[in-house]
Amino acid sequence: MIKVTLPDGSIREVEKGTKVIDVAKSISDGLARVIVGAMVNGKKAGIEDAILEDCTIQLLKFEDEEGQDIFRHTSSHILAQAVQRLFPGTILAIGPAIDNGFYYDFDSTHVFTEGDLEKIEAEMKKIVKESLPVERFELPRDEAMRYMEERGEKYKVELIRDLPEDVIISFYKQGEFVDLCAGPHLDSTKKVKAFKLLSLAGAYWRGNENNKMLQRIYGTSFEKNSQLEAYLHRLEEAKKRDHRRLGRELDLFSMHEEGPGFPFFHPKGMIVRNILENLWREEHIKKGYGEIKTPIILNEALWHRSGHYQNYKENMYFTQIDEEDYAVKPMNCPGAMLVYKSNMYSYRDLPLRMGEMGLVHRHEMSGALHGLMRVRSFTQDDAHLFMTLDQLKDEIKGVVRFTDEMYRIFGFKYHVELSTRPEKSIGTEQEWEMATEALRIALEEMNVTFIVNEGDGAFYGPKIDFHLEDAIGRTWQCGTCQLDFQMPQRFELTYVGSDGEKHTPVILHRTIFGSIERFLGILIEHYAGAFPTWLAPVQVIILPISEKFNAYAGDIKEELEKQGFRVQMDLRSEKIGYKIREAQLAKIPFMFVVGEKEVENQTVSVRLRGKGDMGSLKLEEVSQMIEEKINSRENDSPGIEG
């Protein structure tokens, strides 16, 4: 007999070889009907997998992240089976589950079109109705290679060839379809009832642009049609909110072939950007930060010293100056270390908080570039906090509170993750444990709910990550608080303690926006381009009904600008209905229509974005209304209503 420990701590004794599904049945038949797999000793398992040793077990439903992975991995196999049925001779590459869906890469003489997706979906539905059992089998490496060679699956042969000689290779079979796969999977195709193929793309085999370009089909799947419909609705809403399209339409920024991944900000985009940066500066002054600015290009030796070269060189740009090697900075940290090192400090000077709006450059693959969300040059709202070990907990808490305050300004909800040591890292196990525990304790003492994200820390230390939730429920990783024992040692940073001896400070690396560019992209999508009045590039547009009212419109504009509002006039010889529609498309918060009646009464006819006509008001009344919205930073965007 072996012992199986459930999440509630209870222990069940079962015979060795008992299947996951039988453990579920021993709890309840209802549970057994809904589970899609399990986590056994922290590893995913299928419901037909046998339990061979004492273990902890978590039974997975579709709503569990790991459960969705299993469900969607099986969905990708159903997709591949349908493609091979419809287009014989198609060679399989890889087909994993991904966030919110799955994909499969194919090598086919047939060029897939959008029209093919419906045919493939129809064939997938047939496979689901056939209720094919999904069965695992294993072969020794050499036999597995021959088996795939006989089936003409050259990409699978290559994958097997790269594995150790003594490894046992696993496959999954459903009907006539067989795929090389580690699994796990659902036990039958019949469970995948709600799915949709979404798009086509090209993808190089193994992500290497020197390899053949394959055809990728993306899809998603859910347990219920209602879940699928809700997701597809969210996708449609996301398309409407796409910051790349809105960036063009609202004249905020542009991207050009002459600088792929390097955004160009237009005057209206710079207004929003400057407001964000000014807000950042104001709030940091209140919190006791000093602002610094460090060079973009620094000697390559510095990056060896910091550890960036060894851990990050593939993402860096290099140049030569006076026959010496230099690097364009991918991060601001080493520059901040040099600023600290330029002075002597005592324990009385700490904590020392330095903030920097630092422009950094990172080499991203061209296929990964995405508007403002993934770029090659961006401005990090960095801060480096230097402190004694005794001050560490309070400073972590201060960063968490500060981040919370900033996100509340924009109406964001968020969740917190604690990211631990990655594979590529520097420092001792003891230092990593001490750093991770410090972050954990600070979060627990603040009663902050968090999840642990194993292996996703920075190479020099663990971190707290803040994931924003936007108006349509998507999450974005933005702020981070990273604890670092390594860089102070590498740069030989010191302070004089109360004992008169030199000691090494501890550092917190911290961002709140993450990067100005990405945060702006998130805001555009969060607000659907309809920025709150305090952030809007144009807060008021004045629309004269005809040319004879242009002078009155000009007087209003002058008065509003004296009060500090951002104002525009539409003096085109167009009908007023057309002007109003154009102003609505530009998502301007306030529209002032002026004509004969308004001139006579010395008023403006006010239209409020998202609410329509508010009637005629005195300029002082509406000015006060706008000022209150700005001063309170009211989130009056109709876009956040989803």
Share of the chain above pLDDT 90, in %: 84
Active site residue 384: yes
The residue from 329, 463, 467, 510 that is catalytic is 463
The residue from 216, 362, 467, 518 that is catalytic is 362
Question: At which residue do the structure tokens 């790349």 appear?
Answer: 244
Please give the backbone phi and psi of residue 529, each rounded to the nearest 5 degrees, phi first.
80, -10
Question: At which residue do the structure tokens 């009212």 appear?
Answer: 549
**The CATH fold of domain 66-239:** Threonyl-tRNA Synthetase; Chain A, domain 2 (3.30.980)
The residue from 380, 482, 486, 539 that is catalytic is 380
The residue from 84, 179, 185, 333 that is catalytic is 333
Instruction: Give me the pLDDT at residue 514, please.
Output: 93
Instruction: Give me the pLDDT at residue 557, please.
Output: 97
In sequence order, which residues have a C-beta less than 8 Å from that of residue 581 and are 6 or more positions away? none
Residue 403 contacts residue 479 (beta carbons within 8 Å): yes
Alpha helices, H only, 6-64 = 20-27, 29-34
Instruction: Give me the pLDDT at residue 503, please.
Output: 95
Query: Which amino acid is residue 123, in one-letter code?
Result: E
Q: Where in the chain is the domain with CATH 3.10.20.30?
A: 2-61
Measured distance CA(214)–CA(203) in Å, rounded? 5
Measured distance CA(520)–CA(232) in Å, rounded? 25
For residues 21, 27, 31 and 33, what is the CA-based torsion angle, rounded to 10 degrees? 40
The residue from 329, 509, 526, 607 that is catalytic is 509
DSSP assignment string, 356-410: EEEEEE----GGG-BTTTB-SEEEEEEEEEEE-GGGHHHHHHHHHHHHHHHHHHT
Q: Tell the CATH superfamily of the 2-61 domain.
A: Beta-grasp domain (3.10.20.30)
Measured distance CA(320)–CA(279) in Å, rounded? 37
Measured distance CA(80)–CA(92) in Å, rounded? 7
**pLDDT tens sequence across 498-527:** 999 999 999 999 999 999 999 999 999 999
Q: Where in the chain is the domain with CATH 3.30.980.10?
A: 66-239
* Bridge pairing between strands 101-107 and 91-92: antiparallel
For residues 226, 232, 237 and 238, what is the CA-based torsion angle, rounded to 10 degrees? 130
Query: Which amino acid is residue 573, in one-letter code?
Result: S
Judged on CB neighbours under 10 Å (0-12, 13-18, 19+), 208 is: exposed
Low-confidence ranges of the chain (pLDDT < 50): none
Active site residue 478: no
Instruction: Give me the pLDDT at residue 561, please.
Output: 97
Active site residue 196: no
In sequence order, which residues have a C-beta less than 8 Å from that of residue 38 and are 6 or more positions away? 20, 23, 44, 45, 46, 47, 49, 57, 58, 59, 60
Instruction: Give me the pLDDT at residue 453, please.
Output: 85
Measured distance CA(63)–CA(163) in Å, rounded? 33
Q: Tell the CATH superfamily of the 261-296+332-526 domain.
A: Bira Bifunctional Protein; Domain 2 (3.30.930.10)
Instruction: Give me the pLDDT at residue 311, please.
Output: 81
Instruction: Give me the pLDDT at residue 642, please.
Output: 55
Q: Where in the chain is the domain with CATH 3.30.930.10?
A: 261-296+332-526
Angle in degrees, 0-180, between the axes of helices 516-526 and 267-286, rounded to the nearest 10: 110
Measured distance CA(606)–CA(392) in Å, rounded? 53
**565 SS3 class:** coil
Neighbours of 449 (CB within 10 A): 8
In this structure, which long-range contacts are made by residues 348-351, counting pairs with CB atoms below 8 Å and at least 24 apart in sequence?
Answer: 349/495, 350/386, 350/387, 350/388, 350/391, 350/495, 350/505, 351/385, 351/386, 351/387, 351/388, 351/391, 351/395
Angle formed at CA 105 by CA 103 and CA 111, multiple of 5 degrees: 115
CATH class of the domain whose range is 540-641: alpha beta
Instruction: Give me the pLDDT at residue 471, please.
Output: 85
The residue from 72, 243, 376, 384 that is catalytic is 384
